[in-house]
Structure 1
């Protein structure tokens, strides 16, 4: 099958735009949380930022379930095998439920060592502990929700998910305002609103599955088919481990920055929140690349997949390049939305210049990583990401700080490493390994 250019653009944007909009809603909630906590002082700002880093580590588990679901169901959707898709979906839901209690226990045991390792101020440390002891209870709901989101993305229906997310985001913002300011619960209110939102969202998504998920859902019958567990773990574990190493590198980078003081942490975290708005389309294009690769491989359409990859890269590079320049140019006024301090704004500016002018290579990484994941080649993705991030970013940052270089060195290495990683992913893609996967 050969798609015309308008057909390719429509197929891509039909998946990418709602996926990007979902990311936007997540980012809005995080940004508002930062703005709300900023009203109580820098220790609250640091506490929320560091707490978010801890929760992000569990996104590695989310990657196991998300990628394991998407890669299987998108391939089965391309092959029009709904019976197998239903068994795969039910198996992953069951597996997630079985893992919930151990995940919460692990999170609880890691809170104190994580706070001690981050070495932030005592006031910030106390607030982090309060926030995390409440937030960890939302992790199972988060994982179950994302299995459902992944299944809908695999069949190309990201619009339904976006509609649900609009509703839940409105609820979350309202709950934050009521609990943080109305009931004067400050950071406790922020944590409670997050837990309530995830639980509500999971309930609405379960209803959505019942109404619209007929390709991969028949009844709430829990099954555990070993072949789908094996496939999910074979694909998902490398993706999860890669996500853990990537997120771990972000946490370690925050720790490096923390050695320059709380203001440096606040500035870099504000920069990350601003960059998150720009990353929104990038995540959408990655989901599109993942789903369309799986669907076309399932149907045996290699050339169609290649044409779609080329179009995704063209559109994504233009959009991300423009957005990157904008955040670099307007770094100071954007950072002052969150917190007004000259030193904080300057550090946020350094960060945004570094990431702003490396958005094009970053979206190349996102898209080609999505191709490899959609093809089920997550081990290669793991190797490429881990070697680049830890070899060309973390190690040079550590050496630079050890040699006495300032916080600016961190941002220089972030910039350089992004270009290196994009080049490595491009070489891997040109080798064509993803074409050889065939069907599961």
Structure 2
């Protein structure tokens, strides 16, 4: 039986987690820069971009189906050293998602006015959000396609390639945002329209770069014009529960935004700033989740069950230390961080309250991320669906609704976020300990 020392396990974990986490950081950094630029215009611009991104995130539901379906299958074949089938999975899902992108784009255009009406924000904020969404929606198709390529690379442990690409495109994106929003570098001043154009242009640039890399015949993965229905079917079987989980999770975030909108635009703006600051903690969180998913799949594919479990426990230990420190920093310097994005006292105060709640619950949050990733890597996505759905809707959303209904202050909304995160982490750990994930073999 193959064994690894603690140092060897750390090396394999960080080889996947660090570039993946840094790539996530760059994604979040671009959003934060947009929010910073919007803050220089007005709090209504912050609300518009924040709510617009909430709508956009709903489509991560569909994206999650193919991301998880790709990663779970290719990591198994990579562990079993089956290059032929790994490439067939990759090609099949890239072709399949291409045809799904078209109706998804139509759904987005049909749905965004209804979404904005439902959120019920201020008139000016709504108009700005509509302007922003009309533009960024066009990046949805390439978002699906490029994330399949990123997922496939992560499945074989290559998170460095997407990260290096993202460094280049982040510089381009920030420059375009600065130029198009404020009219610098010879560009016209387009404000929120410029932010939309900059983000769409960057998304297509990333897609073109990744596609060029995947058309090469060198390396473990390469695209071929081949489609195998059974791999597409497997992806749906594995991915649909993950997609439903993401839908329910994201919708709970949107519903929380809806609850907060009842307290006024300043409260909504403060919470949006808080969530964007918190998003920086998702950088290592996402990296460790991807590492857990890939290493679980690879080791089960190679029939190394004990090693798969050891990797997950090691990830939990190191991620808890890192996220615990980041959470404390987030809580201690909440006001300083919030002041970067806003000047109004009420907006800053709400952001601070939110950051205290999430900063002090970063350790259980990373347990949720890692154990969720481990179950996904094992192909057990239905379990993750039930845990996330039941916990979030039973211990977070329903209590929030009661608090709002009985007129409690906004700080109690944040308290429920704190409590529910701990409850969900405990449930995930209890399920993981049962060993339900122990399903070796190169197929799921």
1:184 corresponds to which of 184, 189, 193: 189
Deviation for aligned residue 1:220: 4.0
CA distance in 2, matches of 1:361, 1:314: 12
Deviation for aligned residue 1:437: 5.3
SS class of match (1:66): helix
**TM-score, normalised with respect to structure 1:** 0.98
Structural RMSD (CA): 1.0
Partner of residue 304, structure 1: 307
Partner of residue 439, structure 1: 442
CA distance in 2, matches of 1:16, 1:408: 34
Distance 1:118 1:309, change over 3 A: same
Match runs of 1:23-422 below 5 Å:
23-182=24-183, 183-211=188-216, 214-217=219-222, 219-221=223-225, 223-422=226-425
Deviation for aligned residue 1:181: 1.2
Deviation for aligned residue 1:239: 0.5
CA distance in 2, matches of 1:87, 1:436: 22
Deviation for aligned residue 1:211: 4.0
CA distance in 1, matches of 2:211, 2:352: 42
Structure 1 residues 200-254: Cα deviation after superposition (integer angstroms, max 9, x where no partner): 000001122234763231x441x33111011100011110110011010000001
- The question of whether the paired residues in 2 share the 8 Å contact of 1:152 and 1:213 is answered with no
How many residues are aligned here? 438
Distance 1:213 1:187, change over 3 A: farther
CA distance in 1, matches of 2:51, 2:285: 24
**TM-score, normalised with respect to structure 2:** 0.97
- The question of whether the paired residues in 2 share the 8 Å contact of 1:368 and 1:425 is answered with yes
| Consecutive unaligned residues in structure 1, runs of 5 or more | none
Deviation for aligned residue 1:277: 0.9
Structure 1 residues 167-206: Cα deviation after superposition (integer angstroms, max 9, x where no partner): 1111111111121112110011000111100000000011
CA distance in 1, matches of 2:379, 2:337: 39
Distance 1:437 1:391, change over 3 A: farther
CA distance in 2, matches of 1:388, 1:52: 24
SS class of match (1:405): coil
| Consecutive unaligned residues in structure 2, runs of 5 or more | none
SS class of match (1:435): coil
Deviation for aligned residue 1:436: 2.8
SS class of match (2:146): helix
Distance 1:213 1:171, change over 3 A: farther
- The question of whether the paired residues in 1 share the 8 Å contact of 2:79 and 2:442 is answered with no
- The question of whether the paired residues in 2 share the 8 Å contact of 1:73 and 1:216 is answered with no
CA distance in 2, matches of 1:322, 1:6: 22
CA distance in 2, matches of 1:213, 1:242: 36
